[in-house]
Structure 1
Amino acid sequence: MQNSRYDSLDNALIAELRKDGRAAVSTLADTLKVSRGTIQNRLDRLIASGAIVGFTVRVHQHLDTGAVRAIMMIEVVGKSTAQVINKLRGIAELTRLHTTNGAWDLVAEIQAADLPTFDAVLRQVREIDGILNSETSILLSTI
């Protein structure tokens, strides 16, 4: 699914599923203030289009030693921060997103299953309209 086909409800739905991939359709509908049928139709469409490729368990970092974790600093063009945030929320591997001060506008925490997935996430982020620059550091160990 191309990013241009996402709307705010798609992004919100994906963001909620990132918090709890096991959330019931009725819970998602209540949270997003739409009908259960709307949520089910959106889920079906997102799955069929390939935007959602599966539902997964997030494991505590001490148990998930094969994951690639990183921090990405992001510079946003002009006043496009809200638009960029909405697009970033649709990327499952971005586990947290923070606003910040200084040279960078946003900080994203990334967790990818492997290096090819990590590489794909970097490309996907860099293709978002409104992102001027980014810098990513892979987290090697937690001390």
Structure 2
Amino acid sequence: MDSLDHQILAYLRSDARISAATLAKKLNVSRGTICNRISRMERNHHILGYTVRVQAESQGQEIAAWMSIAIEGHETSRIVHALSGEPAVWALHDTNGRWDLLAELRVTNISQLSDALERIRLIKGISATETSLHLKTLQLR
């Protein structure tokens, strides 16, 4: 990937719906160049997909929480597999430091959060957890 690819990605990160024609004009290259480079970045898995960021308030009364997870031994892949089937787990991140994984949890009420925490804590190989509620986002990119 070169400088132009990185510039394209920067624009796509801020607006994934930006047109190829607009990108071409902003970057002073042809529309075909933009389309070819985006296609290549998709094929090479530099671009994994496109998404929509939704304002939390538009989702209703959703509760978000962050669960830090410590894993015993070399059980990470098995635990990631187990967590992939947990309906409350919205995203899972590999980390370093005190915690091995960071799980983003989303539920509709406190009772569902409590049930999810209990199910996750019972997974064999998880040695400790710490959960924090997400109160609000202070800044978006």
**TM-score in terms of structure 1 length:** 0.57
Matched, 1:122 2:122: no
Deviation at 1:105, TM superposition (A): 0.3
Which digits, 9 at most, give the CA deviation of each residue in 1:109-138, with x for residues without a partner?
A: 000010100000000000000000000000
Query: Which one has more relative contact order, counting CA pairs under 8 Å at least 6 apart?
Result: 1
Deviation at 1:64, TM superposition (A): 2.0
Partner of 1:111: 106
Partner Cα separation in structure 1 for residue 132 and residue 65 of structure 2: 5
Q: Return structure 1 stretches of 4+ with deviation > 6 angstroms.
A: none
1:62 aligns to what SS in structure 2?
Answer: helix
Partner Cα separation in structure 2 for residue 93 and residue 62 of structure 1: 19
Residue identity opposite 1:66 in structure 2? Q
CA-atom RMSD in angstroms:
1.2
Number of equivalences: 85
Matched, 1:102 2:97: yes
2:74 to 41, 59, 79: 79
Provide closer, same or farther for how the CA distance between residues 142 and 65 of structure 1 changes in structure 2, counting only shifts above 3 A.
farther
Deviation at 1:65, TM superposition (A): 4.0
Partner of 2:49: none
